[in-house]
Amino acid sequence: MTKEETFPLHRCIFRNDVEGLNKILKDEEASKLINTKDNHGNTPLHLALMLDRRNCVLSLLRNSDCDCVTRNNYGWNPLEEATMLGDMDLIEKLTMLKFRDYRKFFGKKGGIIDKWNESLPNFHFKAHLKFKSKIPLLDKIGIKDSENFYKRGNDFRFDIGFSGVDLRGIPRMIKGSMSFIINFKENGSVRLLLLDNKAKRYTELYPELPQGMMESYLKTKMDVKTLFKFYGDFSKFRVKKKSAKGFGFNNKKRVIKINGNKKYNTDIFKFKDLGVITRKRDNEEVIGDYKSHIKTTVRDLDKSRMTGLDGSSLNKEINQTLFAGSEKQIRGYIMEDIIKQEKELSGTDSDSDSDDSDIEDDAKSESTNESHTNKLIEADNEFKKFIDENIYNITSVNNEVTDKIIQMIINGKDSNGNPIEKSDILYVNQIVPSFYSAYLKENHLPADQQKKLEEIIKNIVQNGEDYSNIEKSTKDNKILNNIKNSNNVTSLVHNFAGTYYNNSKKSSSSKSVIYEETKKEAISEEEYFDPKNTESLHMGRVMEISEERRHAKNVFKVWLTKENAFPLNTYQFMPIIEIFCLILYDQVNIKPEDNNYDRGIYYNVANHILQEIGATKRFPLKFEIPIFAGTVFQYKFAEIDTDEKGIPESLFKVPSDYLYDETVSFKFIK
């Protein structure tokens, strides 16, 4: 092979030869090289973005096979490289093409979903989610939900019981009913929908993302100066089965009820000693056609994050998948027998469902937030249904609908003359927690009506409690400020990542990046493509990269059924975890023959955990993750069903009385 035949696409980009690049891309055989990595771990798209060759990038993106997901050796994907360039047009294109790559991977025949259908074609689960905290301020946010997940062949639906966050005053979850529906078609196409079941409206998220939602997303990418990445150090990671203590009294805490009153004895497993590495990339500038000058204290930037279970870097190729194992292990039981065994299984005599948690149960909680501790109020009359129908109006205090609702409450009657009950007033607060306080601050009302409304809110909504001091205390709370300063989910994640990094920095003894003059080290085409030059190489930027490490002693706790006591096993639900990790680690376009560090760690750790917990014989009924001192995230299954009859096809379609509305979204109300 001649010099000109090696990495022809990369060479055109290196020279900024757009015409030559387009000519090669028209050749069917040559265009197959579009995702080939060069000796430095960069695809043509990576190189074009790093060198800010915009026209080359556009030429590559016109090819439907261009990989817009995979990371380079330094761990950055194309969208992240474009974000640091600040090119909004490229960010928008790469975002949609990234979803295209997800669709192609998950929708292909013989792929992960088809394999999942072989072991578990249909199922539904209902689960309870909650953040339990001993910190009153955090407890008042009211993060508590019941969720439903449905799968019927290639159709999926996920229901949640909240529709946003009210950021006026103390941040609180907005109660609602939202559904995500994904339909994978036989021809490989995918449709993703978002439904607001209270407002009876829906919008399409894919293949056509609403322009307003895209604009909101792009705002979070404007003038971005910092990127964060998280990696795990598994060198000391271990799975420990918790032993039963005492004379059986603590065993009550290991009995979990599911599907009504069916009780199952469980074993508790703890995942311990995980190192969390936060990598920060910032203070970046474009310097042209030079080697990137990376100012850092991190050794071996391309490999430092790759620490495996044995304490060494993982560099061996791992071709197995989480579906490895016998058909019997994966399938567990013949599907026709699952429902039958569910009916035959009986639990223990214990009537306790205690959670073995260090955080007290809600029943014992000292929280005074009634909307958090009480049961949800249902829309059982015309007034509440009017609230549901106008949910998109009442998020603002400056409109006629809001004024109308306030007058009904003050007068004690709705528009039809029906009395306004206490539950009606609380229902509005349940839907939009800061509705009343935000309205009162505007002083729209005459003095006598303002005073009357204040009395109603104080006695019914606040239950006589003065919230003013609590709201003042939120100003210096970093966790709450992260929420309040967010405009959407993307900015919320970025804000929390920044706070986590800064907290890690305060608690560590790591060195800061020392200031040094920017170096512009030129590299010729011959030097770049020299076969002997195989070092990981970034181009065209000056940047700072730093890392902070934190040790999490208690990572995760899971309650698993006794061996062979439940008609399903963990393996049958592993595709959920695998799909999540493939997206999280940008793995959807990685081929089995590719030597990839991130995938190696993922498979190594996942298979280690599955072996340690006996995944072919057990099923998890509850999870608990400590977030920080005094606060845990808990997820507990309440119902699990695999009968197709209980999962009708209508669940995966938009009801005929729903209206299309591009403004449907997860709301952040300020």
- The pLDDT tens digits of the residues spanning 581-633 come to 888 889 888 876 666 666 777 778 888 899 999 999 999 999 999 887 678 89
Q: Answer yes or no: is 497 within a domain.
A: no
Question: Is there a contact between 277 and 547 (Cβ–Cβ < 8 Å)?
Answer: yes
Kindly report the backbone phi and psi dihedral angles of residue 358, in degrees, each rounded to the nearest multiple of 5, phi listed first: -80, -10
d(CA 345, CA 263): 9
- The pLDDT tens digits of the residues spanning 45-68 come to 999 999 999 999 999 999 999 999
pLDDT at residue 313 tops 70: no
pLDDT at residue 325 tops 70: no
**Residue 420 is part of which domain span?**
370-464
Note whether 309 and 435 are same-domain residues.
Answer: no
Return the SS3 of 413.
strand
Note whether 418 and 404 are same-domain residues.
Answer: yes
Note whether 50 and 175 are same-domain residues.
Answer: no
Kindly report the backbone phi and psi dihedral angles of residue 71, in degrees, each rounded to the nearest multiple of 5, phi listed first: -85, 160
Q: Which of 6-10, 276-280, 289-293, 487-491 has the lowest mean pLDDT?
A: 487-491
Note whether 86 and 53 are same-domain residues.
Answer: yes
The span from the first CA to the last CA of the chain, in angstroms, equals 62
Strand partners, 282: 226, 544
Residue 330: per-residue pLDDT? 37
Return the sign of the alpha-carbon dihedral for residues 443, 449, 453, 455.
positive
Residue 332: per-residue pLDDT? 40
d(CA 217, CA 211): 10
- The pLDDT tens digits of the residues spanning 499-512 come to 656 665 655 656 66
Q: Answer yes or no: is 148 within a domain.
A: yes
Note whether 343 and 391 are same-domain residues.
Answer: no
pLDDT at residue 339 tops 80: no
199 contacts: CB under 8 Å, gap ≥ 6: 388, 389, 391, 392, 661, 664
Give the residue from 72, 107, 142 where a domain finishes: 107
Note whether 418 and 300 are same-domain residues.
Answer: no
Please tell me the total count of domains within the chain.
3
Residue 366: per-residue pLDDT? 34
Give the residue from 86, 107, 128 where a domain finishes: 107
d(CA 323, CA 334): 17
Structure tokens at 516: 């040094």
Note whether 259 and 288 are same-domain residues.
Answer: yes
- The pLDDT tens digits of the residues spanning 115-162 come to 899 989 999 999 999 888 776 666 666 688 999 999 999 999 999 998
Q: Answer yes or no: is 98 within a domain.
A: yes
Note whether 339 and 205 are same-domain residues.
Answer: yes
Note whether 382 and 297 are same-domain residues.
Answer: no
Residue 95: per-residue pLDDT? 95
Residue 488: per-residue pLDDT? 59
Q: Answer yes or no: is 512 within a domain.
A: no
Note whether 171 and 237 are same-domain residues.
Answer: yes
Q: Answer yes or no: is 122 within a domain.
A: yes
Residue 502: per-residue pLDDT? 67
Q: Answer yes or no: is 540 within a domain.
A: yes
Residue 147: per-residue pLDDT? 95
Note whether 98 and 121 are same-domain residues.
Answer: no
Give the residue from 84, 107, 130 where a domain finishes: 107
Could you give the C-alpha distances from 87 to 90, 94, 282, 555, in angstroms and in order?
5, 11, 17, 38
d(CA 87, CA 199): 36
- The CATH number of residue 22's host domain is 1.25.40.20
Q: Which of 15-19, 184-188, 434-438, 504-508 has the lowest mean pLDDT?
A: 504-508
Q: Answer yes or no: is 658 within a domain.
A: yes
What is the pLDDT confidence band of residue 513, given thresholds at 50, 70 and 90? low
Return the SS3 of 378.
coil
Note whether 98 and 117 are same-domain residues.
Answer: no
Q: Which of 343-347, 460-464, 559-563 has the lowest mean pLDDT?
A: 343-347
d(CA 65, CA 45): 12
Q: Answer yes or no: is 523 within a domain.
A: no
